[in-house]
Structures are given as structure tokens and as C-alpha cells.
Amino acid sequence: MNSKKFVLDFVKRHKAKYIFGIIFVLVVDVLQMVLPRIIGQITDDMQNRTINKAMLLSYAGLILLVALLTMTFRYLYRIYIIGTEKKLEYELRKKLFDHMLTLSSKYYNTHKTGDLMAHATNDINAVRMAAGMGVLLLVDTVFLTISVIIIMLATIDIRLTLIALSPLPLIAIFSMVFGKFIHKRFTQVQEAFSGLTERVQESLSGIRVVKAFVQERPVLEQFNAASQKSLEKNMRLARLWGIMFPLGQMVATLSYIIAFSYGGIQVINGHISLGEFIAFNTYLGLLIWPMMSFGWIMNIVQRGSASLDRINVILTAIPDIKDNDPLPIGSIEGHIEFENVSFSYNKKQEPVLKDININLEPGRTLAIIGETGSGKTSLVNLILRLYDISGGKLKIDGSPIDRIPLSTLRTSIGYVPQDSFLFSTSIRENIAFGVEKASIKEIEEAAKTAQIYDNIMDLPDGFDTIVGERGVTLSGGQKQRVSIARALIKDPKILVLDDSLSAVDTDTEERILQGLKVIMKDRTSIIIAHRISSIKHADEIIVLDNGQIVERGRHDRLIDLKGHYYSLYQKQLLEEELDRA
């Protein structure tokens, strides 16, 4: 569903609230039009000396009643219209975020976080304003303008009304002309804000790298450049928007000059009374705001339209990875088959995986090793179906992977990525992230298997310790072990460890592997590693080089081949000897 249809459907669902809100706006406008007549009548009664104290008190009471009713109905229309616009903001933001969660990894590779954040904040706020305040102002402006003009024509003087109002349409014309330029410049403002948000988000996320390389000044200069660009775009919009009000005020002043000049002559000549003259000028004052607000309405609508277009780009983006005629599969056993699989992140690029053939039966362990960039992570990404294969066949339990429901597939896989991402909540919540109702016993068991339990208990708040943004309060090895515990607590049929032991020492690695042995007996396991000590007990080891399997077999057999694996093994033995020296 695109954003425009979503907003229209929302308005239909909440039309009763909009109708009541509009009725209350109209009541307020009617009450506003009563006051000039009362003031005019009081003026004439005073001039004719036909008013007494009792009448004066009754007029005062009437004015007070009108003021109280106006206050009451203004409160009500704000509750109905402004309250409804807040609900639209909530639902649209939820809709946007829900859709963003369905988009594939490829989408986030090509779209900046700051830009997406701007969509979820500034753009949605602009749409909310258009659907709430924009509607309110439009109804108020149209009804008040028509009603006041009719009253002025019917009850005071037709000629005075036509002459005094003749300059006011210029305000509407100016608003329409400027509105087109405002739309374009507001889009530029939003784009500049996206760039600024992205710069801030990236700099703060990488603040430790910035400080380690003493790059505070260059980063500040980059921020200032993005901030300056945002300022320039905002100033261009402000200058355009700023011209509209002075022009409107100038036109309004012309109307007042005409009203005072021609209307004053009419009073002197006795064609209208002083009370009618004062009422006329009060009505004229009521008309100035609608004429001025027409420009504001155009501004709000143009901003809302520009933001809705930007949001629509996201909402109409089709996920690359989605359920495609899924089979009724509720669980999997973990039999993984690659048949001549190839994969490329982009059709124009060379494949990063070529002619991959693997047959991994349930309960067995596959280890993958290779140089950086050889395609190890890309291979396990295909099992998670973060990307679709480019050629060949990939099956789980004999079914094509793209026919297995995504929820079933990913629920059945425990994945520990290279970058151990932790949320800025407690360790308990991070470990239990993939399980709805995990008991403390399950959390503790997972932590013990991952060899992180003792470290957690040494912390002041234990499992309730807040890890900070991206787990900043924990060391690299601790974050990896918390990530391992998070994968284990799911009790997955397939366990994938993507170089997840690289940040722990060899003794901790050995303890973790010992703890995993019991768990790995009942599930399919895939271990990606750089250290051969992590994988030498695997049922099968494959060596990747430039996206192809160049060697495969168990540890002893690969050593005997004296090929790539043997060379890596010799290098690591030499490194260990140098470390001990």
C-alpha cells in the first residue's frame, strides 16, 4: 500500500472525528462573526444614548458567553482534529517501520541510515501537519471568508465591501505562486537534513575510531559542512516563506486604508452608522487572517505533499527477499544441500561464489576456512536467505530454500555474526532476544555454555547490567560470547558461527568448543574460522579461495594434501611459536 492510499484509508476510518472536528470549527467561526454585530450595536446605542447599565451588563454577559463557548469549541475541535492527526502520525510511523523491517539487506546497503531516520521523523511530522492543521485551517479559511463576505454584503454596504476587499485576492494569488517554489525548496531542506542526520549518526557511532585516530577536527569540519548546507537550504526556504507575510500585510493594509477612507466618508454622509463602520472594520480584520492563512495552508500542504512522496518511495519498495509460494513447512531438520550454487551481490559484478557443492546432513559439523574476501560469510548469508542465490540449487531438507517460509527458516537457525551487535539493553534481554519467554535458568545455561556466565556474575548488576550502545561496556570477546549465548538459547536446528571466536583467547576458545560439542551432536553446525584450532574436529572442512571450494575433507586428510589448508596451518603454527618466544 502506498502512502497516499494509506492516508486516504486513515481519513475514511476516522471520518466521524473529522466531521465532528469540522462542525466545531464552524461553530467557532459563527461565534466569531457574532461579536462584530454586538460591538456595532453597542456603539450605535451609545452614540444614540439609548443604552443603560442593565443593557450594558447584558451586552457584557453576552460577550462573555460567546467567549466561553468559543473557548469550549476550540478545545473540542483541537481534541478531534489535532488528536486524530497525532494518531495518523503514530500509524504512519508504525507502517513505515514495519515495512522497513521487511526490506532485505541489499536495501540497507544502498540507503543511508540518516536518510531513513529523517523519513521517520521530519517527513512524518510534515504529513501529520498537513492532515491535521492543514484541514483545520482550510475549513476555517474557506467558511470564514465566504460567511464574512456575505454578511458584509448583506448587512452593511455592498459598494464599501467590494471596494475594500478588492486587494485581498492578491494574497491568494501570491500564495499559489509561492507554493510551487516552497514545495521544491522544502524537499531540498529535507534532503539536507537527511545528510546532516547521517553525518551525526555515523560520527557518534564511530566516536572511538575518531578519537583513536585523532580525527576530531576533520570530523567536525565535515559536520560543519553538512550543517552549513542544511542552514543554507533552510534559509532559502525561510526567505521565500518570509516574503509571503510582508506581502500579505501590505495588501491587508491597502484594504484598511480603503475601508477607513471610503467608509469614513460614508459615515460622514450618513449612509452607514458609526456602529456599522466599526462592525465592518472588525469583519475586515476577521478576513485578513484567512487570506494570510491561505499562504500558510499552501506551505503546510506543499510540505506534506513533498514528505508523502519521500515516504512513498520507501513504502513502495519491494523486498528482494520474501516468501514466494511457501510450502506448509513448520520446522526443519537441518539437511543442507548446495548444488552448483553461484552468487553475486550485483548482476554487473563477478560472482563472489562459484560452483559450490555441499551436502551437509543433520547433526554434522561443517567448517569453512579461507583468506579474507574468499566468500565465507556470503555462503552462510545464503543459508539464512539474507540474499538469494544467482544460480544452481540450494535446498533445506530437500525443499528449495525460497519455498521455505522465512519465519520457519530463520527461527530454526542460530546465527552468530562476525560483528557481534548488542542492543543497548541488559545482558539478560540481549541473550533472550530471539526467545519470547526465556526463563532465567535457560539464560544462565546458555551463558555457561558460551563461557560468559562468570564474567556476567562479576559485573555489579549481573544479568541486569546495561551493556550500552552496541555493547560498548563489554570487551570484544565478551560481546562475542553474549552473541553465542543469544544463538544457543533458541535451541536451533542449524547453528552458524561466523568467525565468532576470533576475539577470545585460545583457552576460552577451547572451553567454548568443549561446551558446544554436546550441543552440536543434535544439530547441523557451520563454523567459519581463521584459526584452524577452532575447526580441526569438524566432520568436514572446506577451503574457499576466490569464491570456489579448492579443498575439502577432514583435518588430517587436508594436512596430507599439503595445499592451501596445509599452508595456513603452517603459518599459524609459526605464529604460535613466535607468540611463545
Collect all residues with Cβ–Cβ distance below 8 Å to 356 and sequence separation of at least 6: 338, 340, 341, 342, 379, 392, 548, 549
Confidence of residue 172 (pLDDT cuts 50, 70, 90): low
Domain ranges of the chain: 92-315, 336-580
Please tell me the predicted confidence (pLDDT) of residue 504.
67
The phi, psi pair for 552, rounded to 5°, reads -155, 155
- The pLDDT tens digits of the residues spanning 383-415 come to 988 888 989 999 999 999 989 998 888 888 888
In terms of DSSP H, where are the helices of 105-157? 105-110, 113-118, 124-131, 133-155
- Burial call 192-222: b when 16+ CB within 10 Å, e when fewer: bbbbbbbbeebbeeeeeebeeeeeeeebeee
Nearest one of 242, 276, 245 to 259, comparing CA atoms: 276
Task: State how far the Cα of 366 lies from the Cα of 379, in Å rounded to an integer.
Answer: 12
Nearest one of 283, 394, 229 to 40, comparing CA atoms: 283
Which long-range CB contacts under 8 A does 469-476 form with residues at least 24 apart?
469/205, 469/424, 470/205, 470/421, 470/422, 470/424, 471/420, 471/421, 471/422, 471/430, 474/422, 475/503, 476/420, 476/503
Least confident of 37-41, 424-428, 454-458: 37-41
Mean pLDDT along residues 514-518: 73
Please tell me the predicted confidence (pLDDT) of residue 68.
93
Can you read off the three cell numbers belonging to residue 61? 454577559
Mean pLDDT along residues 248-263: 75
Which long-range CB contacts under 8 A does 530-534 form with residues at least 24 apart?
530/369, 530/499, 530/502, 531/501, 531/502, 531/506, 531/572, 532/369, 532/565, 532/568, 532/569, 532/572, 533/506, 533/509, 533/572, 534/367, 534/501, 534/509
For the beta carbon of residue 538, count every other beta carbon within 10 angstroms.
21
Is residue 458 within a helix (H) or strand (E), and if so which, with residue range?
Answer: helix 453-458
* Residue 104 and residue 386 in contact, taking contact as beta carbons nearer than 8 Å: yes
Question: CA neighbours within 13 Å on the CB side: how many for 157?
Answer: 25
For residues 165 and 481, the model is more confident at 481
- The pLDDT tens digits of the residues spanning 554-566 come to 988 988 888 888 8
For residues 257 and 515, the model is more confident at 257
For residues 511 and 67, the model is more confident at 67
- The pLDDT tens digits of the residues spanning 30-69 come to 888 888 777 777 777 777 777 788 888 888 888 899 889 9
Nearest one of 296, 295, 299 to 170, comparing CA atoms: 295
- The pLDDT tens digits of the residues spanning 86-133 come to 898 888 888 888 888 888 877 887 777 767 877 788 788 888 888 888
Please tell me the predicted confidence (pLDDT) of residue 266.
78
* pLDDT over 70 at 579, yes or no: no
Confidence of residue 357 (pLDDT cuts 50, 70, 90): very high
| Topology adopted by domain 92-315 | ABC transporter transmembrane region fold (1.20.1560)
Please tell me the predicted confidence (pLDDT) of residue 393.
92
Task: State how far the Cα of 108 lies from the Cα of 98, in Å rounded to an integer.
Answer: 15
| Topology adopted by domain 336-580 | Rossmann fold (3.40.50)
* pLDDT over 90 at 571, yes or no: no
Collect all residues with Cβ–Cβ distance below 8 Å to 400 and sequence separation of at least 6: 393, 394
Can you read off the three cell numbers belonging to residue 240? 521565500
Percent of the chain with pLDDT over 90: 9
Mean pLDDT along residues 541-554: 90
Please tell me the predicted confidence (pLDDT) of residue 295.
65
For residues 212 and 160, the model is more confident at 160
